[in-house]
Amino acid sequence: MELGNLLNAVIFLPLVGAILMLAAPSDRSVRWFALLVTLGTFLLSIPLWFGFDVASAANLQFLGMEFPLISESLDIRYLVGIDGFSLLLVLLTTFLGPIVVLCSWTYIKESTKGYYVLLLILQTGMTGVFCAFDVLLFYIFFELTLIPMYFLIGIWGGERRIYAAIKFVIYTMVGSLLMLVAILYLGYAAGNAVNDGVFTTNYFKLLSFNVPLGMQTWLFVLFAFAFAIKVPVFPFHTWLPDAHVQAPTGGSVILAGVLLKMGTYGLIRFCLPFFPSASVAHTLLIGILAVIGIVYGALVSRAQTDAKKLVAYSSVSHLGFVVLGIFALTLESIQGAMIQMINHGISTGALFLIVGMLYERRHTRLMSDYGGIARSVPILTFFMVLTALASAGLPGLNGFVGEFLILVGAFSSEAPGMPALTIIATTGVILAAVYLLWMLSRMFFGPLTVEANRNMPDLNRRELVILVPMALLMIVMGLMPQPFLKVSEPAATRLIEIIEEKRAYAEIDDPSLQRTFEMKRRAAQSAPSSPDPTTYQP
Amino acid sequence: MEIASAFDTILTDLAGGGSILWLSLVGVIVIVWDIFRNDARELPWVAGMSVGIALVYEFFKVTDPASTVFFSLIQTGGEASFISVTILLSALFSMILSVPYLKGIGRSYGEIYALMLFATSGMVLLGTANNMVTVFVGLETMSIALYILTGIVRSDEGALESALKYFLLGAFSTGFFLYGIALIYGATGTMYFTEMAIGYSVSELQPLFWVGVALFLVGFLFKVGAVPFHMWTPDVYQGAPTPLTGFMATASKAAAFAALVLVLYHGIGTLDIGGADWQLALALVALVTVVFGNLLALTQDNVKRMLAYSSIAHAGYVLIALAAGTSEAYAGAVYYLLIYALMNIGAFGAIALLEWDGKEGRLQTLDSLAGIGFKKPLIGVTMGVFMFSLTGFPPLGGFFGKLAVFAPAVDAGLTWLAIVGVLASVFSGYYYLRVLYVFWMKPAEDSDPAVQSGTFPVPRSSSIILVTCAVLLLGIGFIPGIRDLTLSFFVPGSFVTLP
């Protein structure tokens, strides 16, 4: 019980900090205060890692207080917890918190207070997304992240910031509002079937509800559409380069590091277990889109002249791997997708940080304005090379683990067309090396082309503090991925079991046979040894 | 009934219709006071205090069981009190907001407050009616006061034009309304909502009845500004003094919708046969209202006009709930009206503050306000809350309101309508966020000099109202009591019917 309220503290400490910060006097104190709050949140979240029971990672842990939201008579409740899918994402969010504050330290010069207040609100929203086990609560946190992000891009962004900000919000709104209708529909349907006719958005009740096949397809489409925009999956990705490039460095890091993961997390958390038959029916379509995203994102990255845009498009490519892994529906590929989400958050986050640091020095992001700067900024170059290699998936660094698992898992997948798609996706790994190494060679190595870069200062202490932990994580996760993989294994196993069980159920046409099957399943569940998707009954 | 006992009944029922009588009484006092001491400075205070007293009175009656008073002419307690609270809240807030505004444009007329009191009293009567005649009396009391209020700035041609337009179209729609009532009476022989459904078996209902209902609905749809009866809204909203526009947009809409809810819930909506037809008709009206309201709002340069069109769209959202026609939907509609009132009073209040130099909101373009957010953070931040809430972003009130109207629609099989509704509200995202973009993000170079210097005053009373609205919107969704309260109003059998 105490540990549960620890989770609530992790979620809401940034929000409390934001409210307190409104009373802060000077800009200087605001920065320190924001750092204090985010660091405190990170420290608070560390016990989540150590207190987490890996053996039962498929179940909800750190449950805290629970109370009805909106109305006593509707089954919409405040219910947060952590399972094997959420743990690492929560930790990633809290880890990036202080880093984002530090990287904005000198970058943000105007209306500092507003910036940090929004940043802290954003963190509460992001953490909540990964902990919410009520679909409507998830939706509230999911949308809560849009408001601060709109202002972060729109006020502190680059030249075309307004276009980018509005595009970002409108794009996401289309998807999430359609998802809201789907949530309502699902809530009533599930309420009638499993909750005595009371509208419910409780995750576990929805999970125990076998959505009829006809309904599954379009509910799946509405859910998947919202998440596909957020990820973004290929044809819906056009908001991403604009938002990424125009956002201030801190905003880009958060976007790449955490916000995109809300999409892939949503796919794993909701789309697959709620609508398994529809998910399986759509694996080929989504697989193709994912592979197009991988190859297209990589090719477009290669064509960029702007370093930040290159990193932005590389996100499309990397997230394509994650989506491919999720819809390959094997244990390895889903675990690979989970770990790849974290890897992408760290390595792409670090890429954005370094590009931002260069931008702060020279106020340009065009790669042609750099060249051979390894001589003037050797330490920065070291971190850049390390990050780029991690991002390209060099064995021994973190990126390799995720991509390898995804590709191995997807190749062995029984889903139609998956092996062929995997082969094409593998070219994405090569292309990633091409565009990243090309960027390295153009910007950092060779002769010094622009004289103004000769006396560029190298990393200062603050920037080292930002980059060293990220670099350490890249190496640690690359060399010892086991502890990180172990966390998601039981959850992924459970997920695959649920999918298979529900599909088997759906294949029984006769309603009376379905009922028998249901009874058998219930009986099997009550036996202690068998896996039970509804272990937690509120 | 005996005449002698009638007086006793009236005396015992006085408390039930207390706020209507009280507001009218104070209205008369204010206007007489104004005769002897023209535009006395105490008048706004007297009017505001009286509305505040009525507000507190109704607030404590909200949990009472619903019943009827004055020979079942009006309802009291429960839903009636809840809607009275909504109306009185928006009346009180608009009064406080209009004091500095009217002083700013040099029009601190005492009669404005008397008229607002009469209008409020009419609104409460309309929103708590239990009889067609009461509906009519309430509607006209409200409307006539509002016609005058729209054109109260006599020297302003735009305002006069709006007032005349409002009056002519309003009178026309009243004709429809009255004719509808007459036909319904002819078909059913009763003016009471509850008797309409109980006393007549459905198969006996003639086409006459349905023609009557159709005409009656036209009158209502005009008052709430639903497409295709919305033509008057943008002009009237733009022409009227801004805080009064806020009053009209929220209180009068809440009252008219509340009356419609009462008619549908107690009367017409309970009929089985033909129920699907009028539901479909309402659904179609809701559809075009939501779509057109949002599309037309997209192209507006003037904030007031934009808000006028957006208020059409919001009427559409409430109509979605009414089309669903379940108990939960009616509860959702009533809940939505409260939240809508808070959002719009706030938004109009903020716009009123920005008309610092007496320049009418009619002429003020959005672009002239560029960069105001940094100069006047209070207006900027509260406007941010109102705009995001109007768009329907969680965790603000607007989201929970929309949830309350869309969810029953999905439940009632109107998923297609809910989908169109949410897609149309994506457009609203664009125009609401554009306000914030101008306030916070647009470079201040091409804005009004007064904005750049930030020298115009922000009265403390107005700031308090804006902050109150914003704070309420931030928290209202998380108070389960309010939603549960509205749900409890529409539990079948909770209402005491005729004696």
Q: What percentage of chain A carries pLDDT values higher than 90? A: 36
Provide the 8-state DSSP code for B191: -
Residue A10 backbone dihedrals phi, psi, to 5 degrees: -60, -40
User: Where do we find the tokens 């704070």?
Assistant: B471
Q: Given this model, what pLDDT does residue A30 score?
A: 87
B85 within 8 A of B55, measured Cβ to Cβ? yes
Pick from A154, A173, A199: CB nearest B440: A154
Using a 10 angstrom Cβ sphere, with 0-12 exposed, 13-18 middle and 19 or more buried, the burial of residue A216 is: buried
Residue of B nearest to A73 (CA): B484
Closest alpha carbon within chain B to A165: B437
| Minimal C-alpha gap between B23 and chain A (Å) | 33
Instruction: Give the gap in angstroms from C-alpha B477 to the nearest C-alpha of chain A.
Output: 6
- Say if residue A515's pLDDT is above 70: no
pLDDT at residue B437 in the model: 87
| The token pair that represents B380 in the structure block | 């900027």
For chain A positions 163-182, those within 8 Å of chain B (CB to CB) are 165-166, 169-170, 173-174, 177-178, 180-181
The amino acid present at A97, given as its one-letter code, is G
Taking CB atoms and an 8 Å cutoff, what residues of chain A touch B392?
Answer: 177
List, as ranges, residues 402-421 from B with C-beta within 8 Å of A.
Answer: 403, 406-407, 410-411, 415, 418-419
- Assigned token pair, A56: 């039962």
Closest partner residue to A173 (CB to CB) among B429, B441, B483 is: B429
Q: Please name which of A77, A210, A88, A71 lies closest in space to residue A133, comparing C-alpha atoms.
A: A77
A149 closest CA partner among A67, A222, A242: A242
For residues A383 and A390, the answer to whether their CB atoms sit within 8 Å is no
Of the candidates A71, A173, A184, the beta carbon closest to that of B484 is on A71
Contacts of B442 in chain A (CB under 8 A): 162
Per-window interface: A 256-315 vs B, CB < 8 A: none
Pick from A76, A177, A192 the residue to mutate for testing the B interface (most B CBs within 10 Å).
A177
Whether A69 has its CB under 8 Å from any CB of chain B: the answer is yes
Mean pLDDT of A70-74: 79
Helix (H, G, I), strand (E, B) or coil at A224: helix
Ranges of H-type helices in A52-134: 86-103, 112-131
pLDDT digits (tens, 9 = 90+) for A299-322: 999 988 888 999 999 999 999 999
Task: Look up residue B241 and give its DSSP letter.
Answer: -
Is the pLDDT assigned to residue A447 strictly greater than 70?
yes
Report A:404-463 residues touching B (Cβ under 8 A): none
Calpha distance A335→B83 (Å, rounded)? 54
- Nearest by CB to residue A71, choosing from B425, B441, B487, is B487
Lowest mean pLDDT among A149-153, A414-418, A436-440: A414-418
Q: Does B219 touch chain A (CB under 8 A)?
A: no
Whether B406 sits inside 8 A of A170 (CB atoms) is no
- Quick check: A481 pLDDT over 50? yes
Whether A499 and A531 have beta carbons less than 8 Å apart is answered as no
C-alpha span between B227 and B127 (Å, rounded): 22
Q: What is the mean pLDDT of residues A470-474?
A: 91
> How many Å lie between the alpha carbon of B355 and the closest alpha carbon of chain A?
25
A512-516, A523-527, B252-256, B453-457, range with greatest mean pLDDT: B252-256
B393, A146: Cβ pair inside 8 Å? yes
The three-state secondary structure class of A446 is coil
Confidence of residue A536 (pLDDT cuts 50, 70, 90): very low
| Shortest CA distance from A155: residue in chain B | B441
Helix H, strand E, coil C: the string for B377-408 is HHHHHHHHHHHHHHHCCCCCHHHHHHHHHHHH
pLDDT at A441 over 70: yes
Whether residue B422 and residue A177 make contact (CB cut-off 8 A), yes or no, is: yes
Say yes or no: B348 contacts chain A, CB-CB below 8 A: no
Residues pairing with B68 in the sheet: B75
Query: Measured between CA atoms, how close is B489 to chain A, in angstroms?
Result: 13
Per the CB < 8 A criterion, the answer to whether A290 and A325 are in contact is no
- With vertex at residue A130, the alpha carbon angle to CA A125 and CA A135, rounded to the nearest 5 degrees, is 90
Q: CB–CB of B393 and A147 under 8 A?
A: yes
pLDDT of the residue at A533: 43
A449 or B432, which is more confident? B432
- Option in A74, A169, A184 nearest B429 (CB): A169
Task: Judge if the upstream peptide bond of residue B228 is cis by omega within 30 degrees of 0.
Answer: yes
Q: Tell me the per-residue pLDDT of A261-274, one tens digit each, with 9 for 90 and over.
A: 999 999 999 999 99
- How does DSSP assign B82-99, residue by residue? HHHHHHHHHHHHHHHHHH
Task: Look at B423 and A139 and tell me if their CB atoms are within 8 Å.
Answer: no
More confident residue, A162 or A1: A162
Residue A109, C-beta contacts closer than 8 angstroms, at least 6 positions apart: none
In this complex, is the C-beta atom of A71 within 8 Å of any C-beta atom belonging to chain B? yes
If you search the block for the tokens 């190749």, which residue do you land on? A411
The pLDDT assigned to B319 comes to: 93
- Decide if A96 contacts A349 (C-beta within 8 A): yes
Distance CA A116, CA B96 (A): 34
Quote the CA–CA distance of B446 and B436 in Å, as a whole number: 16
Q: Determine the pLDDT at residue B270.
A: 66
Q: Concatenated DSSP letters for A327-395?
A: HH--HHHHHHHHHHHHHHHHHHHHHHHHHHHHHHHHS--BGGG--STTTT-HHHHHHHHHHHHHHHT-T
Q: Which of B476, B484, B469 is nearest to B395 (CA)?
A: B476
Cα A524 from Cα A504, distance rounded (Å): 15
Provide the shortest C-alpha distance from residue A150 to chain B (in Å): 9
B445 to chain A nearest CA, in Å? 16
pLDDT digits 0-9 by tens, A91-129: 999 999 999 999 888 888 878 888 999 999 999 999 999
Residue among B181, B340, B322 at smallest CA distance from B260? B322
Sequence-distant (≥ 6) Cβ neighbours of residue A64 within 8 angstroms? A1, A4, A5, A6, A7, A8, A80, A81
pLDDT of residue A534: 46
Q: Which residues contact B195 (CB under 8 A, 6 or more apart)?
A: B188, B498
**Integer Rg of chain B from CA:** 22
User: What pLDDT is attached to residue B362?
Assistant: 61
User: CB burial class (10 A; 0-12, 13-18, 19+) of residue B77?
Assistant: buried
B426–A143: do the CB atoms touch at under 8 Å?
Answer: no
What are the angstrom distances between the C-alpha of A320 and each of A226, A433, B42, B66, B445? 16, 16, 69, 58, 43
User: What amino acid occupies position B342?
Assistant: L
> How confident is the model over A347-383, as pLDDT tens digits?
999 999 999 998 888 888 888 888 888 888 889 999 9
Please say whether the beta carbons of B72 and B499 come within 8 A.
Answer: yes
Name the one residue in this structure whose structure tokens are 């949308």: A143
Calpha distance A477→A465 (Å, rounded): 19
Q: Are strands A77-78 and B67-69 parallel, antiparallel or unpaired?
A: unpaired
Cα–Cα distance, B360 to B354 (Å, whole number): 10
Q: Is B441 on the interface with A (CB under 8 A)?
A: yes
Cis peptide before A416 (omega within 30 of 0): no
Mutate to test the interface with B, among A115, A180, A221 (most CBs of B within 10 A): A180
Residue A1: is its pLDDT beyond 60?
A: no
- Residues of chain B falling short of pLDDT 70: 1-2, 197-205, 269-277, 356-363, 446-455, 493-499
Contact in structure between B83 and B127 (CB atoms under 8 Å)? yes
Interface-testing mutation among B389, B406, B434, B436, with chain A (most A C-beta atoms within 10 A): B436
Closest Cα in chain A to B387: A147
Q: How many contacts, defined by CB atoms under 8 Å, are there between A and B?
A: 94
Q: What gap in Å lies between CA B287 and CA B246, rounded to an integer?
A: 24
Type and span of the H or E element at A411: helix A398-411
Q: Which of A189, A313, A304 shows the shortest CA–CA distance to A239?
A: A313
Cβ separation B406–A69 shorter than 8 A: no
Rg (CA), chain A: 23
ipTM of the complex: 0.90
Residues in chain B: 499
Q: Chain B partners of A154 at a C-beta cutoff of 8 Å?
A: 436-437, 440-441
The pair phi, psi for residue B75, each rounded to 5°, is -100, 155
Residue-range domain boundaries for chain A? 282-480
pLDDT confidence band for A527 (50 / 70 / 90)? very low
CA separation for the pair B442, B368 (Å, rounded): 10
Q: What is the pLDDT of residue A64?
A: 76
**A512 and chain B in contact, CB less than 8 A:** no
Which of B306, B155, B496, B409 shows the shortest CA–CA distance to A199?
A: B409
Q: For residue B303, give both structure tokens.
A: 């904030």
Contacts B426 to A, Cβ<8 Å: 170, 173-174, 177
Helical segments of B37-156, H only: 43-59, 79-104, 111-127, 132-150
Measured CA to CA, the distance from residue B314 to residue B249 in angstroms comes to 10
Task: Report d(CA B323, CA B297) in Å as an integer.
Answer: 23
Residue type, B154: R
